[in-house]
Amino acid sequence: MPVIVKPLTTLVVIALAATLPVRPAAAAQTNPTVATQSATPGTILPESIPATESFNAIDLPSDDGSSILVKWAKPANEPKGISYVIQVARSKADFQAGKFVTKEVFPSPIILGTTKPEYFGRGKNASQTCFAVISPAELFPPAKPGPLTEARLKELKTKKVLTDKELGRALAVLAEIEQEKSQTKPASVPATAQAGVTKSQTPKLTSKQRAERKWYARLGANIKKLDAEALTKERARINAEPSFFRLGVKLDDQTILVARDGEPIVVEAIAKPNLFKWGKLNNLTLSLIFMSAVITFIEIARRKPDIFIRKIAGLEAIDEAIGRATEMDRPVMFVHGGGSVGSMSVIASLNILSHVASRAAEHDTRIRVMNQDPLVTAVSQEAVQQACTEAGRPDAFNADDVSLVASDQFSYVAAVSGIMVREQPGAIFMLGAFGAESLLLSETGSSTGAIQVAGTDSYTQLPFFVTTCDYTLMGEELYAASAYLSREPRMLGSLRGQDVGKAFVMIVLLAGTAILTVAAAMDGPWQWLRGLLEATG
């Protein structure tokens, strides 16, 4: 029986072993494209490792030559807890000697290629691209120079930074400083006793010694500046030399390097300065187009001063409003609002004030200017006086009519509203920067029966002006008023060129939106349109 049982037992064991799955010895053995650095096998699957052909290192585009872009394809299976390991060395031999620096990159949406379309494009493959920006000078920083010691000073003399005379002076001052330190804080005295050293125990310096200390301080500052320049040059030299990279996948304590035929892949790259930032080529192109349009229309305006400009109803109504105030023998009121002289809307309103004051002087109509800011008051007085002089009516200017009403917002509103009710102006111009006072002022002005022309760049206040005023200048219409009223060729040409530029941008945006909407699922020649008007950093 024993002779029969033993062969039967052996056959049963063999049959059971044949039915069990065979576990691979290690990931490095089942996948010849990887190499492992850990004794724990079977943790990282082959599909968790980036493809060998996707691992590459290139010079980072559009930089000053200080960085290298390392990129690889996102693996098919990226398990939770995985990270990518980038090993950087100065030569291939340094990897074998263990002289390399390791940088660990964790997967996140930040490192996907879609966040940097200027590097990877906008195709479907870009969304599966990962990258890391490496600066060799940060991983292999140059040695910083030490403090000014006797040896350092002699070294500077050898490098011809110091002359023999300067070296002697510096060594003498350094010796004095070291001697003072030994007297005030001797090494044998405990720290608690050193705290008891008073200022009177420090030896007093002569005038010559103080002068030498000042010279030594200037010398130290100059050497510090030279050291900073030397460090900058050394960093540039390190970045300009070839750098070598290896890529690995890390999970827990196991790291597997991307390899081919069992040998880790090493890629090489050099950081180079880029004089042109290609990511902003669209900005340059659009700027050149706008500049050409503005210059062209300025030349056209010089030859043809009556160049067509879209009519602005509020500006066309200025003469009508002043004429009505003249016929009714009522004053014209101009309200700047609450802005300061640095506000663009106030500056634009001052240009309109000059035109209004000139027309009022021609019609012999009194003009009242209400201000909230002292500087705006001063500029307004000058503008009205100059306008009256140019109109041939210098006697029409009255400084009391251009006044500072109040500096507080609602005190200003109350005072201006009272003047409106008492004087019953025939025309009211509310142009400038306005806040919560807009509706209060315009409602009061409307109750007087005056023609009201308002304008501001504050879009939150425009609805109140539109509903209570006869004419409203919206946004940039206020800025265009200077060119519109003066008809000066350079202003007219600039205004017309800006309008053409805006129309061009609107056409491009509409056309690009339509094309990309139709070709949203297409890769290839249509993808560049996405970045045509994209603002890049």
pLDDT level of residue 76 (50, 70, 90 thresholds): confident
Q: How far is CA 368 from the centre of its chain?
A: 44
pLDDT at 7 over 60: no
Of the listed ranges 189-198, 266-275, 338-347, 485-494, the least confidently predicted one is 189-198
| Cβ atoms of 26 and 36 closer than 8 Å | yes
pTM for the model stands at 0.54
Domains and CATH numbers, the chain: 1-184+208-275 (no CATH), 280-305+491-531 (no CATH), 313-485 (3.40.50)
Predicted local confidence at residue 488, as pLDDT: 81
Half-sphere exposure of 184 (CA within 13 A, CB side): 15
Predicted local confidence at residue 45, as pLDDT: 82
pLDDT level of residue 3 (50, 70, 90 thresholds): very low
- 438 vs 107 pLDDT, higher one: 438
What is the percent of the chain where pLDDT is above 70? 83
Q: Span 321-336, mean pLDDT?
A: 92
Q: Put residue 28 in one of left, alpha, beta given phi > 0 → left and psi -120 to 50 → alpha.
A: alpha
Which residues make Cβ contacts (< 8 Å) with residue 228, sequence separation at least 6?
none
Q: How far apart are CA 155 and CA 161, in angstroms?
A: 9
Token pair for residue 150? 């006797």
Distances (CA, A) of 188 to 185, 191, 192, 256, 446: 9, 9, 12, 56, 90
Distances (CA, A) of 320 to 49, 166, 362, 368: 79, 82, 14, 18
By three-state DSSP, how is residue 404 classified? strand
Using one digit for the tens of pLDDT, what is the confidence trace for 15-37?
434 444 433 333 333 333 444 44
Q: How far apart are CA 429 and CA 279, in angstroms?
A: 46
Predicted local confidence at residue 193, as pLDDT: 47
pLDDT at 192 over 60: no
Predicted local confidence at residue 469, as pLDDT: 93
By three-state DSSP, how is residue 15 classified? helix
What are the E-state strand segments in 221-337?
243-251, 254-260, 263-264, 267-269, 332-337
| Cβ atoms of 262 and 28 closer than 8 Å | yes
Q: Which helix (H) or strand (E) holds 485?
A: helix 481-486
| Cβ atoms of 348 and 354 closer than 8 Å | no
Predicted local confidence at residue 527, as pLDDT: 59
pLDDT level of residue 504 (50, 70, 90 thresholds): confident
pLDDT at 285 over 90: no
- Measured CA angle at 199 (ends 198, 200), to 5 deg: 90
Q: Span 122-133, mean pLDDT?
A: 79
Q: Span 167-186, mean pLDDT?
A: 84
Q: How far apart are CA 90 and CA 103, in angstroms?
A: 15
Token pair for residue 23? 């576990």
Q: Span 194-216, mean pLDDT?
A: 73
Q: Span 209-236, mean pLDDT?
A: 93
pLDDT level of residue 386 (50, 70, 90 thresholds): very high
Least Cα distance to 98 among 85, 86, 89, 106 occurs for: 89
Q: How far apart are CA 111 and CA 122, in angstroms?
A: 15
Q: Span 170-189, mean pLDDT?
A: 78
Predicted local confidence at residue 308, as pLDDT: 80
What is the percent of the chain where pLDDT is above 90? 40
pLDDT level of residue 533 (50, 70, 90 thresholds): low
Exposed/middle/buried for residue 396 (C-beta within 10 Å: 0-12, 13-18, 19+):
buried
Which residues make Cβ contacts (< 8 Å) with residue 164, sequence separation at least 6?
157
- 32 vs 370 pLDDT, higher one: 370
For the chain, what is the mean pLDDT? 82
Predicted local confidence at residue 287, as pLDDT: 86
Q: Span 423-444, mean pLDDT?
A: 92
Predicted local confidence at residue 530, as pLDDT: 63
- 241 vs 107 pLDDT, higher one: 241
| Cβ atoms of 332 and 368 closer than 8 Å | yes
pLDDT level of residue 522 (50, 70, 90 thresholds): low
pLDDT level of residue 249 (50, 70, 90 thresholds): very high
